[in-house]
Amino acid sequence: MQRRRTGTIAVVSALGMTAVLGGCGLTGDSEEVTLELVAADYGDSEANSSQNYWDDLARAFEAKHPDVHVDVTVHSWNDVDREVREMVEAGDAPDMAQIGAYSDYADKDLLYRADDVLSIPVQAGFVSQLARAGQVNGVQYGLPFAASTRVLFYNKTLFDEAGITPPKSWDDLADAAEALKAEGVKYPYALPLGAEEAQAETMQWMLSGGGGYTDDVGTYSVDSPQNVTTFTWLKDELVGKGLTGPVAPGELNRADAFAAFAAGDVGMLNGHPSLMKMASDKGVKYGMVTTPGIDGASRNTLGVTDWMTAFKENGHQEEIGDFLDFVYSDENVLDFSRRYDLLPVTTSASQVMSTAKEDENLKPFLDELLLSELYPVGKTSWAAVSADVKKRIGQAVASGGSPEEVLGRIQTTAMRAGSAE
């Protein structure tokens, strides 16, 4: 396939015909190459570990490319970003890393551009929102790898017992939570603003109120009037009325909220596709609807993607490109998405999934993908802002807390971190 090779073209221009006349390939074609990939584990047991997926994929690739070997090491999500960071700092970067962030590495010029390593059809085939989120200053470095969106899950049994229907607006949600509380439901609405993934629940609520972490031109707007209104409503209408359960939102982690839903103790919560299997395995009958917004169904939802990155350090540009083109074939993208209840990152695979009977359980999430907004991951400041959200946002809805003050402090962090970009 045709591939843009900006780096290689520059080398040829500098060397003239010397390399060609000397018979020396720029990528060492005559030698065997071993590519090192570090990846995250999406499985919940050894049996469905991502290591199995990558080992099968590597063998299939090697059968077509006998001079290229691919060694894959899989780490848990708790460890993978740290492991890669330590490798990079030690001067031993992998050829590729499938991780949660990319912008710091791009900012330090450690990564190949997408058009250095991907064929033109593969790069053009990414879902547009995801591709844009992989850009730093208009240049794509982050390659979307797996995506998800959020919808509102509700416990059908608890809703039937309370005689209520799924909410469409914030007022509907508050009314439903009141009815669930009257029936003795432990968590009428689970609001996980704990340190594990507070940035996700926060952004989902911001979007439902017409706000977000940034404004239309990409400037941080954490303390916008819309966001202040959203968290004031949460504090007064849900948390303050005892509708979010026995654990303070700032102490409730996403994993614990999901586990409580699977145990039948939660009436409603925002969730991503992995919650479907957790709930089904425990026999919970659940439904899914678009996240309620301030005056009806939310017009936007949170989209999340993880990233494939290609490091320059070892210089295996051609081989990395061949492998990544293989990784992003429809067959392999669909295989991974179906194994782990995730959304495809390519338009063609998304089209297949949207009409396939076997994927109908993912359709509510797939429908939301084109309306989704992602974290501002192209900003190197995002890591600092996300950490501050995890640290502070629970205080915004706590008794005696001030949403305006807490959001203002996070905005200050964002502006300070952003000034260095």
Three-class HEC string of the chain: CCECCHHHHHHHHHHCCHHHHCCCCCCCCCCCEEEEEEEECCCCCCCCCHHHHHHHHHHHHHHHCCCEEEEEEEECCCCHHHHHHHHHHCCCCCCEEEECCCHHHHHCCCECCHHHHCEHHHHHCECHHHHHHCEECCEECCEEEEEEECEEEEEHHHHHHHCCCCCCEHHHHHHHHHHHHHCCCCEEECCCCCCCCHHHHHHHHHHHCCCCCECCCCCECCCCHHHHHHHHHHHHHHHCCCCCCCCCHHHCCHHHHHHHHHCCCEEEEEECCHHHHHHHHCCCCEEEECCEECCEECCCEEEEEEEEEEECCCCCHHHHHHHHHHHCCHHHHHHHHHHCCCECCEHHHHHHHHHCHHHHHHHHHHHHHCCEEECCCCCCCHHHHHHHHHHHHHHHCCCCCCHHHHHHHHHHHHHHHHCCC
Evaluate if residue 158 carries a pLDDT over 90: yes
Please give the distance of CA 322 from its chain centroid, rounded to a whole number. 25
pLDDT, position 25: 37
pLDDT, position 393: 98
More confident residue, 17 or 245: 245
- From first CA to last CA, the distance across the chain in angstroms is 36
Query: How many angstroms separate the Cα of 252 from the Cα of each of 82, 206, 227, 313, 394?
Result: 24, 19, 21, 41, 9
What percent of the chain is modeled with pLDDT above 90?
83
Strand-pair partners of 155: 286
CATH 3.10.310.30 fits 150-300+377-418, yes or no: no
Mean pLDDT across 262-279: 95
Mean pLDDT across 13-20: 36
pLDDT, position 46: 85
Tokens, residue 122: 């593969």
Per-residue pLDDT reduced to its tens digit, 393-403: 999 999 999 99
Taking the C-alpha atoms of residue 273 and residue 421, their distance in angstroms, rounded to an integer, is 34
Asked whether the domain spanning 150-300+377-418 has the same topology as the one spanning 6-11+26-141+304-370, the reply is yes
Domain ranges in the chain are 6-11+26-141+304-370, 150-300+377-418
More confident residue, 44 or 365: 365
pLDDT band at 21; cut points 50, 70, 90: very low
pLDDT band at 371; cut points 50, 70, 90: confident
Mean pLDDT across 293-316: 95
Mean pLDDT across 364-378: 90
Q: State the average pLDDT for the chain.
A: 91
Per-residue pLDDT reduced to its tens digit, 66-124: 999 999 999 998 899 999 999 999 999 999 999 999 999 999 999 999 999 999 999 99
Taking the C-alpha atoms of residue 133 and residue 303, their distance in angstroms, rounded to an integer, is 10
pLDDT, position 23: 36
pLDDT, position 78: 82
pLDDT, position 221: 97
pLDDT, position 22: 36
Mean pLDDT across 143-147: 95
pLDDT, position 13: 35
Give which of 306, 315, 305, 307 is closest to 116, Cα–Cα.
315
Strand-pair partners of 308: 98, 143
pLDDT, position 12: 35
pLDDT, position 29: 46
Evaluate if residue 237 carries a pLDDT over 60: yes
pLDDT band at 17; cut points 50, 70, 90: very low
pLDDT, position 30: 52
CATH number of this structure's domain 6-11+26-141+304-370 = 3.40.190.10
Spatial contact of 98 and 35, defined as CB atoms under 8 Å apart? no
